[in-house]
Amino acid sequence: MPANPSPSPPGTPDGYMSDNSLPDEHNANGTPSPDAAENERSGARPNGTKTRPENALFSFQEERTLQSIESMKLAHGGHDPIAVTPHTTPRARANTVRGGAPPGLELTPMITEKVEPTTEEHPIMPSVQIGSYTSIGGMMEKAAPKEKGSEEVEEEEQETFITPELLSLYESFSRCLDLRDKYMGSSLQRLGDNPEHYDGHFTPLPSGLCDVNGLRPDAKLPSDYPLHSPTEPGPGPPAEGSNLPHPWHLYPKPPPPHWHWHPKEGPSGMNGAPPEEEEFDFAKCEIPEEHEWTFEMDDKGVYQVYGNDEKQKPLCRVPDIREYFIDLDALLTVMTDGPAKSFAFRRLRYLSSKWTMYTLLNEYTETADMKRVPHRDFYNLRKVDTHVHHSSSMNQKHLLRFIKSKMKRTPNDVVIFRDGRELTLAQVFESLNLTAYDLSIDTLDMHAHQDTFHRFDKFNLKYNPIGESRLREIFMKTDNYIKGRYLAELTKELMTDLEQSKYQNCEWRISIYGRSPDEWDKLAKWVINNKLYSHNVRWLIQVPRLYDIYKGSGLMSNFQQILENLFRPLYEVTKNPRTHPELHVFLQRVVGIDSVDDESKPERRIYRKYPYPRVWDTKQNPPYSYWLYYIYANLCALNQWRKVRGFNTFVLRPHCGEAGDPDHLASAFLLAHSISHGILLRKVPVLQYLFYLKQIGLAMSPLSNNALFLTYERNPFPEYFKTGLNVSLSTDDPLQFHFTKEPLLEEYSVAAHIYKFSQASLAELARNSVVQSGFEMQIKRHWIGHQWYLPGALGNDINKTNVPNIRLQYRHDTLMEELGMLAQGRKARVVGKEQDGPIHPVTADTVAAKAMSMPSSGAGGRR
């Protein structure tokens, strides 16, 4: 171990004086004084401090690497860490400097000279100063001695050395990215597509520049786009203009910027809610009138919207199933192509190593940046649980307490109708041979730790308290004999808990099965009548893929009936909200559609060509790719219509890549806004790389995976994070997996322990969760910054997110490097002769695509 102790250990006032004298040498603007600049250019440190690793944490090898990296950095000048962050308090300043980086790790990259020849490559490179970070690539470039004109030489070299193989790789990856863009475009899932994005402050961007999580990283921001500096206290007055959509009205209105929790029912005679708090009142909701357009399901099983005059021609273009399977096949071809796999694998390895390098260099700077932010820390960062099922969102202790209190207080509630007679709660427990006193967490037996690994069937049974479906029916269903009253009460308690915590938010999944057309109205009435509104909660609708069960029980004859039950009410309420007023109001809090079930069920291929839904009448469940397409396709016209009407649109955020066939992930890549799980991406480098390039959100739940499919230490979550995938942490099923009242914090806590995440990484994860979530623009703006949708440091407000600017800038630069590489491949000249196309592997979906691309076949199958 290195044994050269620091003469003035960091942390002492002495160390501060001698080692970190930079602040003295910089003026208040953060620009180096002439003297300091002189020193930096000549490579010498002020006060003669030498560069030496003095931290015993590093082994000899690491130390040597650090030393050489650092000497490279030293060649590039200095920086004043204090001047970077606005809103610095004297106390925070003192903190930072005292805890500053050990000498040798204090980074000194450029500020003024940093503007590399990257201006064109990074069209939206912010003018915001980004702290001590300089891209590693740039750093290496700088470090290498360069002669005059070397840049041209370099460019020439890049062109010269592109082999046809590499070029075709670049092209196939670019084609895959374009395919996704096409599907996102026609389903309106991107920034600016949803009327709720227009909150009066959001200035619209051309839709070609937007992606699902904000501005495209490679887009050029229009030069006249108004930029809002994070140092300003708030955004200016609402943007005006006749062509701007009407600002989205959030009802009940969100709490004021600074608020404290108050109990809803205050002490006797007093209304506890503060005056500014608006309580939900259905009577106050405005229900718009009927719209003139009409809708109808076409013979391919997709709802289409028609104008008045021409009934024959649908108003919206929806990619049909044939087109989808051909595109999917193109993607699968790339996915299974040998060279593409190796290429993606190498890029991913590179990205991960680059991250390691970045942290080694910048960890101390990041910590210093975070310490300078007053007030903000991990606990008061906004976090969204991006993936949690409502019926298991309480923990067991909570459910147990609730059941016991019901048995004690209202044993005579009539709760269920079984075998021709009504039963009270007391009678139900009598029939189970149980008393309130007997009940414990152990008898409840809902924890999934021991016996559910690779047994999703067993896991599903864990939803039944004490293994009794009767209790699940009574306590955990929205549509039962007591009209979901118990579950509503439980939900209210959960909402109160969330509101008390203030910074934790949820996107609850709740089921619509597609068994009957009145499910939507029942669910909406349950929410509205019980006033299940909370500032901390939004809803997603989960659709279980259970066609085979309904078919088996004779409930329906073909797959199209499910689609009709799922979507007809949504089209009806969009045409005329007055036909389903509750549903119209409830949908304002619904952000998207999810698709759920056990992915590990085998999918047998029974058709050469997939038939349309009206002729899908076998007992087999359609495969994942088919289910997902039909949910997607029916959202397309719906979203376009809703946008025209000024109603909020929905995104597709399915469960995907938890188990089963990795091909599911290919479908999601094309169709989904973001996904839950995605652990199987670790086995498919091409898709993982594509998910990275498109920054598709992954709501991951390592604790849930640990109980079901993948042990905690093998979970790819930390690796994805290093690589730069857009990951967030979520709980999935607190009832089965978590022990505490704050399951989301538990999830963060375990991840921080096992994967050793730094505070900056936790902050980045929290920020990711907000970005991925479906909370309204107005809310996100308040939580993570006024222009959070701009990439890199430009969109960051460290005072709200606590994520160091250098971190986001690193992520952005790295992504730009990859995108730039692929784009450059397109432009490059081909050297060498043409290659044969890749060989098509035979997969289930290739067969389908082949069959469907045959002329005159259509996809009608057996007609």
Q: Which is nearer to Zn ion, 491 or 704 (CB)?
A: 704
| Cα Rg of the chain, angstroms | 29
Q: How far is the CB of 389 from Zn ion (least distance, A)?
A: 6
Q: How far is the CB of 28 from Zn ion (least distance, A)?
A: 51
- Phi then psi dihedrals of residue 598, to 5 deg: -75, 110
CA distances from 376 to 382, 383, 500, 639 (A): 10, 13, 18, 38
Q: Which is nearer to Zn ion, 654 or 718 (CB)?
A: 654
For 492-542, what is the HEC assignment?
HHHHHHHHHHCCEEEEEEEECCCCCCCHHHHHHHHHHHCCCCCCCEEEEEE
702, amino acid identity: P
Q: What does DSSP say about strands 210-211 and 214-215: parallel, antiparallel, or unpaired? A: antiparallel
Q: How far is the CB of 429 from Zn ion (least distance, A)?
A: 30
Q: How far is the CB of 552 from Zn ion (least distance, A)?
A: 24
User: CA 418, CA 433: separation in Å to the nearest integer?
Assistant: 17
CA distances from 674 to 668, 698, 759 (A): 8, 6, 25
Q: Which is nearer to Zn ion, 20 or 736 (CB)?
A: 736
Q: Which is nearer to Zn ion, 186 or 511 (CB)?
A: 511
Q: How far is the CB of 750 from Zn ion (least distance, A)?
A: 17
Return the half-sphere exposure (C-beta side, CA atoms, 13 A cut-off) of residue 630: 29
- Phi then psi dihedrals of residue 817, to 5 deg: -60, -45
Q: How far is the CB of 689 from Zn ion (least distance, A)?
A: 25
Angle (CA) 693-699-703 rounded to 5° is: 130
Q: Which is nearer to Zn ion, 138 or 734 (CB)?
A: 734
Q: Which is nearer to Zn ion, 386 or 648 (CB)?
A: 386
- Phi then psi dihedrals of residue 721, to 5 deg: -65, -45
Q: How far is the CB of 29 from Zn ion (least distance, A)?
A: 50
Q: Which is nearer to Zn ion, 550 or 709 (CB)?
A: 709
Taken as a whole, the chain contains a residue count of 863
Q: Which is nearer to Zn ion, 386 or 688 (CB)?
A: 386
Q: Which residues pair with 297 in a beta bridge?
A: 303
Q: Which is nearer to Zn ion, 333 or 393 (CB)?
A: 393
User: CA 395, CA 659: separation in Å to the nearest integer?
Assistant: 25
Q: Which is nearer to Zn ion, 361 or 540 (CB)?
A: 540
Q: How far is the CB of 709 from Zn ion (least distance, A)?
A: 12
Q: How is residue 245 written in tokens?
A: 């959509």
DSSP-derived secondary structure letter, 732: B
User: CA 480, CA 555: separation in Å to the nearest integer?
Assistant: 19
Which positions lie near Zn ion, rule CB under 5 A? 732
Q: How far is the CB of 186 from Zn ion (least distance, A)?
A: 27
Q: How far is the CB of 395 from Zn ion (least distance, A)?
A: 16
User: CA 812, CA 598: separation in Å to the nearest integer?
Assistant: 35
Q: Which is nearer to Zn ion, 369 or 658 (CB)?
A: 658
217, amino acid identity: P
DSSP-derived secondary structure letter, 197: G
Marked catalytic residue, from 387, 677, 738, 782: 677
Q: How far is the CB of 473 from Zn ion (least distance, A)?
A: 21
Q: Which is nearer to Zn ion, 76 or 387 (CB)?
A: 387
User: CA 254, CA 460: separation in Å to the nearest integer?
Assistant: 36
The residue at minimum Cβ distance from Zn ion is 732
Q: How far is the CB of 627 from Zn ion (least distance, A)?
A: 16
Match 């021409």 to its residue by tokens: 310
Nearest to 639 by CA among 586, 587, 563, 594: 587
Residue 840's contacts (CB-CB under 8 Å, 6 or more residues apart) are: 329, 333, 846
Contact, 58 vs 338, CB < 8 A? no
Contact, 401 vs 465, CB < 8 A? no
Q: How far is the CB of 427 from Zn ion (least distance, A)?
A: 34
DSSP-derived secondary structure letter, 255: P
Nearest to 636 by CA among 654, 622, 649, 653: 649
Match 């970190």 to its residue by tokens: 20
Helix-strand-coil percent breakdown of the chain, rounded to 5?
Answer: 45, 10, 45
Residue 249's contacts (CB-CB under 8 Å, 6 or more residues apart) are: none
Q: Which residues pair with 383 in a beta bridge?
A: 504
Q: What is the DSSP string of 89-128?
A: -HHHHHHHHHTPPPTTTS----SSTT--TTTTTSTT--SS
- Phi then psi dihedrals of residue 505, to 5 deg: -130, 160
DSSP-derived secondary structure letter, 170: H
Q: How is residue 826 written in tokens?
A: 């397109």
User: CA 640, CA 645: separation in Å to the nearest integer?
Assistant: 9
Residue 294: helix, strand or coil by DSSP?
A: strand
728, amino acid identity: S
What beta strand segments (E) does 632-768 contain?
651-652, 655-656, 674-677, 697-700, 727-729
Contact, 14 vs 8, CB < 8 A? yes
User: CA 262, CA 461: separation in Å to the nearest integer?
Assistant: 38
87 is catalytic: no
Catalytic residue list: 677
